[in-house]
Structure 1
Amino acid sequence: MAQALTEYITGGPWEVYSYLFQEKQRIIVSFNVNRALQDQHDDLPHCARLLVYAPIEFVDAEGLPDGDILQPLAELEDKIMEILAKHNIACQFVGRLTYNGVREFIFQVDPASLPHFHEITDEIIHRSPLEMARKEELGWRFFDENIRPSLPMWQQIQNRHRLEMLETAGVDLEIPHQLEHFFSGTAVQLLTIANQLQQDGFQLVSHQNSQLTLALHNTYLDLDSLTDLTTTLHNYAAALGASYEGWQVNEQMSN
């Protein structure tokens, strides 16, 4: 029973993305995919965030906890989930933020369980060897505005999976490659895309019926740069009423 409740609290599946703010500081966001895909949330209307502050000596140049603090943070997270499940708290762990020496655990809690949630987390905060705090608000605003991925972040997630597959297949990610980008739409839409992107350095590979393939040479497979590119292509195609369908490496033409 406790195991089943722990699995409900942690939910699943989960995904992760990251981005830079203030130029050199990185935020890592992990989230419950099922909750992120919901158009609206009809349950667990109270947001509670548990913040853990890493000692400054264990924070790297990007503001992320590192070194000997990582294992205690992981153990603390597991312990929190175990205790909440043991006490049958009606809540769900929906997000994790890591930034500026802080690790946040974001929960959505049923109002009936809120007093007990407060008691338990007060005790956790009191007993923790690391500095902790709790912040709360009504609704899902924090999750929707700070955890749910934007279009570029969904693109980043898809690109990361593709890069991981390529690396597993033995593709050298350190050298530039030719990427083929795929679009679908009407003949007029695709002709407009082809004409514009060829002016921007793309080369026409094929244009048949409702499908268009364009190639871009000397593309480095850096996740952030690749995400900027694919997001731009997605937005450009969408503005014309067409669709950007993704990319692949043309290994025969890669350097």
Structure 2
Amino acid sequence: MESATPWTWQHGQNRSSTMLPHSGVGVLMDTKPCQIVFPAWNTYVSETDDGPLFVSFDEEAALKDLTDTLEHCARVIIPIRQPNRNGGPVKPESELLWNMEDELCSALAQHGVLCRLVGRLTHQGIRELVFQLDDWQSFRAPVGLWMQAHADYAIDVSEHEGWDFFNDCIRPTPERWLYLADESVVDNLIKNGSDPQKEHALEFVFVGERPGLEATAKALRGRGYRPLRGQDLRGIARPCPDGRGTWRQVRRLGSAGRHLILEPVFSRANRALGGWRS
């Protein structure tokens, strides 16, 4: 990944999903507005040694190869004042950060800046907005005014070349896309009438060497996962010569208004096996 060029300006940062027509930043020039935020977004959470990393991303940018366009990358970095235990903001600051992000995207659009918001990261009390852009000069001016309008935040901007940061830190891996597809199945079950308070059986198939399968089986058993057809842990770890292992989880799709979370399955299996199927 290219080395970053930090800005000397310091102030706050924000987060975004929609572009609002208002802006708290003055207009620098009379230009035709550009689209900064595109409609299709998705999210995932990665478990790291330092806590969860929350990633929201422009799905079209992740699915297509846009590396020949918008060849510069800017990370607008904001320290969250009072993060919760997961490193994210709480109300009323969370709403303030949304509004700040909307203001920034609106200002960039009104100034006709050729750029695109492609990602939003939240981790360890930091919020990052990641833009791909065509020209540094046109981007810096409205961002600088926006930073001045929010001088009570210590905002910084890190500059990179190319799409390496997006590819390395935001774009989902093939395994992550499988996980997102599984989450979509769960969401669609609920949207189409499945009662989230009733039990649903989800079957996972894990492929790997015996030590990894045994470690995965033990960890998931401790989280309430039950082996398929009553196998014990050793049976699960080596049910057939090619090393396949199968588990079945029987648990409620939702609890206390929350959907079933597949992330622990994905994370633990990937650490032990380097990949998984479901």
User: TM-score, normalised on structure 1?
Assistant: 0.69
Q: Give the aligned partner of residue 216 of structure 1.
A: 248
Alignment of 1:171-186 (within 5 A): 171-172=195-196, 177-180=200-203
Shift, 1:234, TM fit:
10
**1:9 is paired with a residue of what secondary structure?**
coil
Q: Which residue of 1 aligns with 2:186?
A: 163
Whole-Å separation in 2 of the counterparts to 1:119 and 1:217: 53
Q: What does residue 20 of structure 1 align with? A: 47
- Displacement after TM superposition at 1:225 (Å): 3.3
What's the counterpart of residue 136 of structure 1? 159
Aligned partners of 1:138 and 1:217: how far apart in 2?
Answer: 45
Pairing of 1:79-118 with structure 2 (within 5 A): 79-111=103-135, 114-118=136-140
Counterparts of 1:36 and 1:92 in 2: how far apart (Å)?
12
Distance in 2 separating the partners of 1:103 and 1:235: 29
Per-residue Cα deviation, 1:120-162 (whole angstroms, up to 9, x for no partner): 1112112213221110011110000001012332233222222
The verdict on how the C-alpha distance between 1:152 and 1:65 changes in structure 2, with shifts beyond 3 A counting, is farther
1:68-79 aligned within 5 A: 68-79=92-103
Aligned-residue offset at 1:228: 4.9
As a proportion of its length, which structure holds more helix?
A: 1
Deviation sequence 1:26-73 (CA, Å, 0-9, x none)? 111111111111245111111011112111xx2101111112101110
| CA distance in structure 1 between the partners assigned to 2:138 and 2:123 by the alignment | 29
Unaligned ranges ≥5, structure 2? 1-19, 22-31, 206-212, 218-226, 230-245, 253-259
1:229 & 1:134 partners in 2: Cα distance?
34
Q: 1:165: how far off?
A: 2.6
CA contact (8 A) 1:54 1:131 kept: no
- Change beyond 3 A, Cα 1:172–1:230: farther
The alignment of Structure 1 onto Structure 2 pairs a total of residues equal to 208
Q: Which has the higher strand share?
A: 1
CA contact (8 A) 1:159 1:227 kept: no
Q: Matched residues in 2 for 1:62 and 1:164: separation?
A: 23
Alignment-derived partner of residue 177 in structure 2: 154
SS in 2 for 1:88: coil
Could you list the runs of 5+ residues in structure 1 that have no partner in the other structure? 183-195, 204-213, 237-243, 247-255
Q: Output the CA distance in 2 between the equivalents of 1:51 and 1:222.
A: 28
**2:65 is aligned with 1:33:** no
Instruction: Give the corresponding residue for 1:125.
Output: 147
What is the one-letter code of the residue matched to 1:155?
L
